[in-house]
Structure 1
């Protein structure tokens, strides 16, 4: 990867990006509340299962398809996968999460001014922008290699999950970094699967996670918005 593309990727995959990712746990806080996650081992089990059963089978493949569609300027495919992703958010919190961060990232992309008029017009024409859609637009506009962008998206997701565990299990900082380091092979496998899974085998079927997300909406004490 060229240095410019790498630097762009580091910027847009950074947890410091002002889109609010740190305020969401994606159901993990509800699992912590119910004791399903309570130490480093159960934290790793949760993250790995969520990664392989949900993210690698749906969110990452959708992001992969959106990056390709933006690069081809295939606006019908962009609209198709954007609509499918939003429709797949099966709780109010999960839907609000992707819409809020997608809106924030699309606004940031527009304000930074590196997206051409045609691409920006199609992004802004969508009534609701999902996070993977805005991310894919940035990746295509900046010429970031898709395989690297996919790995960065997966790492950013895992890093956020680990940070939730560091704050809420709680885990120590070193234990958190040890956990994140142990996920390398899992993230690589998830990226490989996302790039080759056919459309008919994609799925985000995880009823337990959906129930936890719905329960989180009425959880008495919480730090996170999902």
Structure 2
């Protein structure tokens, strides 16, 4: 049963103040902003819709759910290996690995989850299971936090106004909820990505100069 404590715990874990350094990553957005492909709030909303439905958003929700249901450490390690193999570029792997590692350390220290070196969505799913937090709630709030971080990056880099950024986030929140719901019966065999421009942007960011974000 979901409780207010569960919601508050997830909000703490996925808050910008939680020490995973999410503010330092743009998930390739900096590349397309630099090239002039994203210049308006409408451009940003369309880009993030694709990432949610066809790319990282959907896949992270599947990985989070699989980790939540993992029966033991061996299964969890296998899920994490798949998550690493599915990263489309070196920077994508760095992003999920470094954030996941930082998350594991803090959650283990405070909540006693005994997690080490997992990719970010896998770590969230395993921690949620340890805390008795349902996968449905964890997936939905994770996706909203994922989008929120990218909106924040775009507000700084485009730049966009704060109100425009919040309007984009509000428009995408129902999609976060529906994407989380649609992966409820998905398995690791359903992992896929057709958000090719997002993947290419992440690859090109590796040589982008000058740059502000790590990815």
Query: What TM-score do you get using the length of structure 1 for normalisation?
Result: 0.88
Q: Among 66, 77, 84, which residue is 2:75 paired with?
A: 77
Report the Cα offset of residue 202 of structure 1. 2.1
Q: Deviations over 1:166-209 (max 9, x none)?
A: 11111111111111111122112211222123443321343322
The separation in 2 between residues aligned to 1:198 and 1:67, in whole angstroms, is 12
Q: Which runs of 5+ in 2 are unaligned?
A: none
Residue 157 of structure 1 is matched in structure 2 by 146
The counterpart of 1:92, out of the listed 77, 90, 93, is 90
State the structure with more CA Rg: 1
After superposition, where does 1:22-33 map in structure 2 within 5 Å? Answer: 22-33=23-34
Question: What is the CA–CA distance in structure 2 between the aligned matches of 1:143 and 1:79, rounded to whole Å?
Answer: 20
Instruction: Report the aligned-residue RMSD.
Output: 1.6
Q: Per-residue CA shift, 1:113-133, capped at 9, x if unaligned?
A: 432xxxx2xx33xxx421122
Q: Which runs of 5+ in 1 are unaligned?
A: none
Look up the match of 1:189.
Answer: 178
Where do residues 5-44 of structure 1 align in structure 2 (5 Å cutoff)?
A: 5-44=6-45
Number of residue pairs aligned between Structure 1 and Structure 2: 214
1:57 shift after superposition: 3.5
Q: What secondary structure is seen at the aligned counterpart in 1 of 2:85?
A: helix
Contact 1:56 1:193 in 2 (8 A): no
TM-superposed deviation, 1:223:
1.1
Q: CA deviation at 1:140?
A: 1.5
Contact residue 66 and residue 187 of structure 2 kept, 8 A: no
- Assess, with a 3 A threshold, how the Cα gap between structure 1 residues 143 and 198 changes in structure 2: closer, same or farther: closer
The 8 Å contact of residues 88 and 204 in structure 1, kept in 2 or not, is answered as: no
Instruction: Determine the structure 1 residue equivalent to 2:205.
Output: 216
- Residue equivalent to 1:110: 108
Q: CA deviation at 1:29?
A: 0.7
Structure 1 residue 105: Cα displacement: 0.9
Shift of 1:81: 1.2
Q: Structure 2 vs 1, CA of residues 13 and 175 (structure 1 numbering), >3 Å: closer, same or farther?
A: same
User: Which residue of the partner structure matches residue 138 of structure 1?
Assistant: 127
Distance in 1 separating the partners of 2:100 and 2:189: 26
Give yes or no for the alignment of 1:54 onto 2:43. no
Which stretches of structure 1, 4 residues or longer, exceed 4 Å deviation after superposition? none
